[in-house]
């Protein structure tokens, strides 16, 4: 099973990715083994997860979500970004 996940970073930015183990992937991001973005924007926590049937479906959904504005992500996915 694959997941779409969204990370809230310490600077308030959002990072969207896919993984078959989002918690393990968050740990990798925190240790500099994630994407380039999370090396300069320290990930704080996972604020969204969505199950997908397979990797292909996850990639399509990731592409869709990444095309959205921050405001649309927060509104449509009901993200709780809170106050840092």
In this prediction, residue 83 carries a pLDDT of: 56
DSSP strand E in 1-84: where?
2-9, 14-19, 43-52
Average pLDDT (39-67) is 97
Domain ranges of the chain: 2-76
Q: Cβ neighbours of residue 23 under 8 Å, at least 6 residues apart?
A: 46
Integer Cα distance of 55 and 4 in angstroms: 10
Q: What is the pLDDT of residue 58?
A: 98
**Do the beta carbons of residue 25 and residue 34 sit within 8 Å?**
yes
Q: Which CATH class is domain 2-76?
A: alpha beta
Write the pLDDT tens digit of every residue in 8-51: 999 999 999 999 999 999 999 999 888 889 999 999 999 999 99
Nearest to 46 by CA among 2, 1, 4: 4
| Average pLDDT score over residue span 53-75 | 97
Residue 41 and residue 15 in contact, taking contact as beta carbons nearer than 8 Å: yes
Query: For residue 9, how far is the Cα from the chain centroid?
Result: 10
């Amino acid at each position: 099973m694959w997941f779409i996940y969204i990370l809230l970073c310490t600077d308030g930015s959002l990072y969207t990715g896919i993984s078959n183990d989002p918690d393990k992937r968050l740990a990798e991001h925190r240790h500099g083994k994630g994407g380039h973005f999370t090396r300069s924007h320290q990930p704080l926590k996972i604020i969204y997860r969505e199950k997908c049937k397979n990797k292909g479906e996850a990639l399509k959904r990731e592409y869709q979500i990444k095309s959205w504005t921050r405001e649309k992500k927060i509104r449509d996915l009901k993200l709780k970004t809170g106050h840092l």
